């Protein structure tokens, strides 16, 4: 079983005919992902990569039954693209776009609260369920089928964690790159809950970074409700206070925002903490074997 996306997902690409949308759509199709079409205003009725192009998401839902969308739309228009997808009834919206203004995301977050959909991102690598569907920009060959779920703010560390898990003799059920912006659709806790509730996921890797309290909230949820082993890693252990590191949301604002403080909270909540990404696979393997 997979979380969020699988072989049955009917996926459209918003920003389909642009350079980024084209490149990554080709990669997703080559992986075996069920791309059923795309949206580019003004190009409806055309075909692209042998798939139909629609002017609106609503028309894509009507004509090909789209239920999932991946967004490669420039930052100034990306928030509207998310709103359009939600309004059209898309259930899973994956926003890859980086640099969406915070004020735009505030409006998006408020609007989506009343909608029956899940937003992953923005500024994220997407979601992959190996052997089922790759809806994102990650290198598919790194991910092998298995029973370890991954939740990460970082794209690069998502790939590294998958590689470590595979090298340790395990594989990945679903990897969710939630994004590193200050305002994102799905939190660390929400993603962990999805994987905790997935019967085919036996363990979870949770990768966070400095800034914010998403990891602390997730850790406290795991302490109270968790039923599977969780291995955590926090990036930014050498980051100077007050300086943004990589992601817009990765900035230390208080004493609990540091990597050291987050690692302490994770340990206090019963999560196995890896001090280095290179330890993730072996730590997960040990945690799984303890329960065997």
The one-character DSSP state at 276 is S
* Alpha-carbon span 201 to 195, nearest angstrom: 6
* From 24, 247, 262, 285, the catalytic residue: 247
How many beta carbons lie within 10 A of that of residue 154, not counting itself?
25
**Whole-Å CA distances, 165 to 153, 178, 224, 290:** 17, 19, 26, 16
Cβ atoms of 207 and 158 within 8 Å: the answer is yes
Q: Which runs of consecutive H residues, i.e. helices, occur in 65-101?
A: 75-87
Q: Which pair of tokens denotes residue 162? A: 């998958």
Known active-site residue 48: no
Pairing outcome for strands 35-39 and 230-235: unpaired
Task: Write the CA distances from 268 to 103, 207, 287, integer angstroms.
Answer: 35, 17, 16
Q: What number of other Cβ atoms are within 10 A of residue 114's Cβ?
A: 7
Q: What angle do CA 83, 85, 91 make, to 5 degrees?
A: 115
Residues marked active site are found at 247
């Amino acid at each position: 079983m997979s979380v969020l996306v699988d072989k049955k997902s009917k996926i459209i690409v918003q920003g389909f005919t642009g350079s980024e949308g084209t490149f990554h759509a080709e990669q997703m199709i080559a992986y075996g992902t069920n791309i059923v079409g795309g949206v580019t205003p003004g190009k409806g009725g055309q075909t692209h990569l042998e798939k139909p192009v629609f002017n609106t998401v609503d028309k894509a839902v009507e004509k090909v039954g789209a239920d999932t969308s991946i967004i490669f739309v420039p930052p100034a228009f990306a928030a509207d693209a998310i709103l359009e997808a939600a309004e059209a009834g898309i259930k899973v919206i994956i926003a890859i776009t980086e640099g969406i203004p915070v004020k735009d995301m505030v409006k998006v977050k408020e609007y989506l609260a009343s909608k029956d959909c899940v937003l992953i991102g923005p500024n994220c690598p997407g979601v992959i369920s190996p052997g089922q569907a790759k809806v994102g920009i990650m290198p598919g060959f790194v991910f092998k089928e298995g029973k370890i779920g991954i939740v990460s703010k970082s794209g690069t560390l998502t790939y590294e964690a998958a590689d470590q898990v595979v090298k340790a003799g395990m594989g990945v059920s679903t990897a969710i790159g939630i994004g590193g912006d200050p305002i994102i659709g799905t939190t660390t806790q929400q993603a962990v809950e999805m994987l905790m509730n997935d019967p085919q996921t036996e363990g979870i890797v949770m990768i966070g970074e400095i800034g914010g309290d998403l990891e602390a909230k997730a850790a406290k949820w795991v302490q109270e409700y968790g039923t599977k082993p969780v291995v955590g890693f926090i990036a930014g252990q050498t980051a100077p206070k007050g300086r943004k590191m990589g992601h817009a949301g990765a900035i230390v604002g208080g004493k609990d925002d540091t990597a050291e403080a987050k690692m302490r909270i994770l340990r206090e909540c019963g999560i196995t903490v890896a001090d280095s990404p290179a330890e993730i696979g072996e730590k997960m393997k040990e945690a799984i074997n303890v329960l065997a």
